[in-house]
Amino acid sequence: MLARILPRLRGAAPLLGPGDDAAMIAAPGGAFVITVDTLVENQDFRLHWPSGFESSGFDVGWKSAAQNLSDINAMGAYATAAVISLTLPHSTPVRWVEELAEGFSAAVRELGALDCSIAGGDLGRGSEVSITAAVTGALPTGKPILRSGAKPSDIVAVNGVLGVAAAGLALLDSTLPAADWTEAEAGIVQGQRRPKPPLHAGPEAARAGATAMMDLSDGLLKDGQRMATASGANVCIERGALLNDIERLEPISNALGCDPLPWVLAGGEDHGLLATFPAEADLPPGFRPVGVVQALEPGESNPKVYFDGLAQGASIGYDHFEG
Amino acid sequence: MLARILPRLRGAAPLLGPGDDAAMIAAPGGAFVITVDTLVENQDFRLHWPSGFESSGFDVGWKSAAQNLSDINAMGAYATAAVISLTLPHSTPVRWVEELAEGFSAAVRELGALDCSIAGGDLGRGSEVSITAAVTGALPTGKPILRSGAKPSDIVAVNGVLGVAAAGLALLDSTLPAADWTEAEAGIVQGQRRPKPPLHAGPEAARAGATAMMDLSDGLLKDGQRMATASGANVCIERGALLNDIERLEPISNALGCDPLPWVLAGGEDHGLLATFPAEADLPPGFRPVGVVQALEPGESNPKVYFDGLAQGASIGYDHFEG
C-alpha cells in the first residue's frame, strides 16, 4: 500500500525523510509553528451526498492539506512540512487512497506552499476513513500573529471568500441532482470541496503590521467572537461590507429557496483570513475592510462580535462539540 | 469537553500555545525532527479483552505518548512538543477521555521527556476512538542517527526489554482470567499497557557514536531486517545474548503453554532501541550487545537479518498491511 501512496505524496525536500523513525525539517530562526487537524468520514466529509455527488479521494486529500496550511498561514507563517496519518477500512479501494495522496500534494503545490515537504506518515486500519495531518511552519518576521492582538480603532479585514463553502455544502446536501447543477453551482460546490486559503497573504499581513489574525474556519461571526474574546475588545462587522459576498451566493440561495446571509456570516470551512490592522495601515493585497475593532462600552464585561451594531449570540458558526 | 481535557494535558511550556491557530516551539540548532502515530480502537488497542481485563483511558494515552516519544528517541533526539488529535464516539465517557489526557501527560513526565510541551490539538467525532499524536524533537548533537548507518564489524546492541509487550498481549488475549494473574503476570501485562522507552538513551547513544539506531516497535528480527536493508549489510543476532530475555518470559509461556522465543524475536511494541556502535566503542549505559553487523557474502545481494547464523524469512514481526 505504502509503495502506491508514497510516490504520490510530493512536496519540497525535507532535510531527511520519510523512511526513518522521524523526519528532519529546517527551522530558520530557531523556532517553528505546528498545527494538527483530522477529517473523519461522515463527520467532516461524506463520500456519497444526497445530491448524488460522490466525493473523490482527491477532494478529501486537498481539504486536509488546505485546512492545515490555512492554520499555518493564519500565524503569519509559511508551511515547512506535513506529516500524515491515514486510517483506512479494508474496503477502501487503493485507487481512492492514491487520489487522496494526489489531492494532498496538489493542494500543497497549487496553493503555493512551495517550501512544504511531505515528510512522513503512518498508515493503519480502522472502520472508517480518517486522515490526520500535522503541519509545521516558519515565521518570516520571527514572530507569530495571534488572535489576541486586536486593538480598539483597528480595521477588521478579511481575505478570501465568505460563505462559499457553506453554500456548496447546502448544494451537496440538497436534493437538487448534481447532474443538473449549473456551471455557477458546480463552481460553488468546488469551493466547498477544494477550499483555497490565500497562503501568501498570512506572511504578507504579518509584514504589513497586522495586529491580530486567524483562520476563518468556523464562520465570520464565531471566529470574530473568538478574536474579540482573545483580544478583550469588540469586533464590529458591517453588512455594507459584505454585499458582494451576499450577492455572489444569491443564485444558489434562490435555487434552494433560502437566505444567503447565514452562509456569509456563519458558514465554516472557507479558510480565508480574518485580520486586524492599525487604522492608518494600507491593507495588503487581497484584504478588504469589513468593520472595526471597538473598546468595550462602559459596564460591558464580555467582548462581543457585533453585526451592524447588534451584539450576536453565542450560538453562531460551527462547533463539533456544541450541544 | 476541551475545558475538561486541557487542564490534564501538562508538559513543558511551549513558546506559544495551545489556543491559537498553531503553537510555537523552539528549535535549537535551526532544525527539528517530527513523527506521527495513530492508535485506533480494536486495531491498536482494545477496551475489553478476552481475559476480562479492561483497558483504561490512562493506558491508551500513555501508549500514544510512549510510541511517539520512542520514535524521537530513536533519532538521538529529545522531544520538544506534542500535538494531539482525538476522535471520539458520542458514547465515550468524559471521564475516560480525562484519563487518556492524564495518561499521555504522565508518560511524558515519568518517561523523562521534561522538555516536551503538549502544544495543541484537535477534537472531533467518529464511530471509534482514535488518537493521533505528532511529536517533535531537537537534536543535541545536531545530527540524527539513521537506520542506514550500520557498518560491517559494528556491534549490534539493544536497550530496553524484548518480548514483554508481546507476552503481555498474549495474556490479555488469553482466557486466563485477569483476576487470577500472578504479580509477575500483571507486571508483564503492565509492560504491554504502559511501555517504557528508555528516553535518555537515544541522545546518549548519539553522543557515544552510534552508527545506526531505530525504535524497536515491530520486533527485533523485523526491525533488524529494516536496519539491514537500509544499511546494505547483514544484521546478525545471537541467541546466547537473549537468554535473559527468554528466561524472563518463561513463567508466562509456561502458564500459556507456548514458546517464549517468538515473543523475544518478533514481538512488537516494546519501544526499546536497536543501535549499532563501532566495535571499539564502549556501549553507553543500558545497551547490551546482541550481535554484530557483517558485510554481505560474495554473491549475496539482499541484506538480511540472521539469527544464530540462519537467514530469517520476510514474514517476521508485525505489519498492519501485511497480507
**Among B23, B43, B214, beta carbon nearest to A21:** B214
pLDDT at residue B1 in the model: 76
Q: Please determine, for residue A314, whether its predicted confidence score (pLDDT) is greater than 80.
A: no
Q: Which of A2, A16, A42 sits opposite B144 (nearest CB)?
A: A16
Amino acid (one-letter) located at A193? R
* Shortest CA gap A183–chain B (Å): 33
B183 a known binding residue? no
Return the pLDDT at A315: 53
Domain ranges of chain B: 2-138, 155-311
Task: Return the pLDDT at A316.
Answer: 56
Q: Which one is predicted more confidently, B209 or A13? A: B209
Judged by CB atoms closer than 8 Å, whether chains meet at A26 and B28 is answered as no
- Over residues A266-291, mean pLDDT: 97
Residue B125 has pLDDT above 90, yes or no: yes
**pLDDT tens string B141-175:** 999 999 999 999 999 999 999 999 999 999 999 99
pLDDT at A105 over 60: yes
pLDDT recorded at residue A2: 73
List chain B residues with CB under 8 Å of A124.
38, 40, 43-44, 320
User: What is the per-residue pLDDT across A130-174, written as a single tens digit (0 to 9) for each?
Assistant: 999 999 999 999 999 999 999 999 999 999 999 999 999 999 999
pLDDT of residue B3: 78
- Is the Cβ of A16 closer than 8 Å to some Cβ of chain B? yes
* Per-residue pLDDT at B26: 94
| Domain spanning A155-311: CATH 3.90.650.10 | yes
Asked if residue A321 has pLDDT above 50, the reply is: no
Angle CA A4–A8–A14, to nearest 5 = 115
Q: How many CB atoms neighbour CB A261 within 10 A?
A: 16
Same fold, A2-138 and A155-311: no
pLDDT confidence band for A313 (50 / 70 / 90): confident
- Is B308 marked within a binding site? no
pLDDT of residue A318: 52
CA A123 to chain B, closest CA, distance in angstroms equals 8
Q: Is A215 annotated as a binding residue?
A: yes
pLDDT for residue A317: 54
The single-letter code of the amino acid at B102 is: E
What pLDDT is attached to residue B17? Answer: 82
pLDDT band at B315 (very low <50, low <70, confident <90, very high): low
- pLDDT the model gives residue B10: 82
Tell me: pLDDT of B65 over 80.
yes
Q: Which of B31, B123, B320 is nearest residue A15 as measured by Cβ atoms?
A: B31
Give the model's confidence band at A320: pLDDT under 50 very low, under 70 low, under 90 confident, else very high: very low
Alpha helices in chain A (DSSP H): 2-5, 57-73, 94-110, 164-173, 183-193, 201-207, 220-231, 243-256, 261-266
User: Is residue A298 exposed (0-12), middle (13-18) or buried (19+ Cβ within 10 Å)?
Assistant: exposed
Write the residue in B33, B43, B83 that is nearest to A34 by C-beta: B83
Tell me whether residues B320 and A124 touch, CB distance under 8 A.
Answer: yes
The grid coordinates of residue A316 equal 453562531
* Residue A227 scores a pLDDT above 90: yes
Average pLDDT, chain B: 94
| pLDDT for residue B111 is more than 60 | yes
Q: Give the span between the Cα atoms of A54 and A44, in whole angstroms.
A: 14
- Candidates 3.30.1330.10, 3.30.1370.30, 3.40.50.2300, 3.30.1050.10; CATH matching A2-138: 3.30.1330.10
Non-local (6+) Cβ contacts of B310 within 8 A are none
What is the overall mean pLDDT for chain A? 94
With CB atoms and an 8 Å threshold, state whether A19 touches B144: no
pLDDT recorded at residue B8: 85
Check residue B59 and give its pLDDT.
96
The pLDDT, as a whole number, for residue A38 is 96
3-state secondary structure of B229: helix
Give residue B316's pLDDT: 57
Q: Are A233 and A284 in contact (CB under 8 A)?
A: no
Residues of chain B with Cβ-Cβ distance to A36 below 8 Å are 83-85, 120-122, 132, 134
Contacts with B260 (C-beta within 8 Å, 6 or more apart), sequence order: B163, B167, B246, B249, B250, B252, B253
pLDDT higher than threshold 60 for residue B76: yes
Count Cβ neighbours within 10 Å for each residue of B258-267 and write b for 16 or more, e otherwise.
eebbbbbbbb
Taking residues B298-310, what's their average pLDDT?
Answer: 94
Q: Does B6 touch chain A if contact means CB atoms closer than 8 Å? A: no
Question: Closest Cα of chain A to B184: distance in Å?
Answer: 32
Span B296-306, average pLDDT: 94
Q: Please say if the pLDDT value at position A322 is more than 50.
A: no
DSSP conformation class of B175: S
**Which residue would you say has higher pLDDT here, A11 or B238?**
B238
Flag if B33 and A25 touch (Cβ within 8 Å).
Answer: yes
Q: How far is B76 from chain A (nearest CA, A)?
A: 10
